[in-house]
Amino acid sequence: MKTLRIFLLAGSAILASCASNPQSRIEKNPAAYAALSSSQKDLVTQGKIVEGMPKNGVYLAWGSPSAVYEGGSGGKSVERWRYNGYQPVYSNTICVGYGPGYGYPGRYAPYAPYGPTVDYIPYTRAEVQFSNGRVSKWQRLR
């Protein structure tokens, strides 16, 4: 069990070091950054967006969306990007059952874990709507 915890902590540290942020995205996409206006560049480096910003600017500021939707409004095609966040939900599980591993500490029970568990529930953290390739509307949780 201790080995599993160490493995999970090491994996989390590796993933955190690979985390994307505005600066890392700018370094990987210098041409997209150069195409922005000076005021948009300032916003992107702060992780902010504004109406009229092109898709590349939103990507540089906020990263890849969790989902992309296509649609129409007023006879025009629109695109909407959704960004998910994840809320931890903590629970305790007690296994009661028959057979090896069920409800007995120290025994292997692959389909019947017991003790505290954490699940992550997705929620919509932000949305951006584009019309003609530029931000026409956006919203995010504070």
Which of 22 and 112 is assigned the larger pLDDT? 22
Instruction: Residue 109: name the closest of 121, 93, 122 by CA.
Output: 93
Does the model's pTM come out above 0.75? no
Does residue 8 register a pLDDT over 90?
Answer: no
SS3 142: coil
Does residue 17 register a pLDDT over 60?
Answer: no
- Percent pLDDT > 70 in the chain is 72
Q: What is the pairing mode between strands 67-73 and 115-131? A: unpaired
Cβ pair 86, 121 in contact under 8 A: yes
User: Taking the CB of residue 62, how many other CB atoms lie within 10 A of it?
Assistant: 22
Mean pLDDT of 5-20: 51
Confidence class of residue 14 from pLDDT cuts 50, 70 and 90? very low
Region of poorest pLDDT, from 9-13, 103-107, 109-113, 127-131: 9-13
Query: Residue 19: what pLDDT?
Result: 73
Query: Residue 16: what pLDDT?
Result: 46
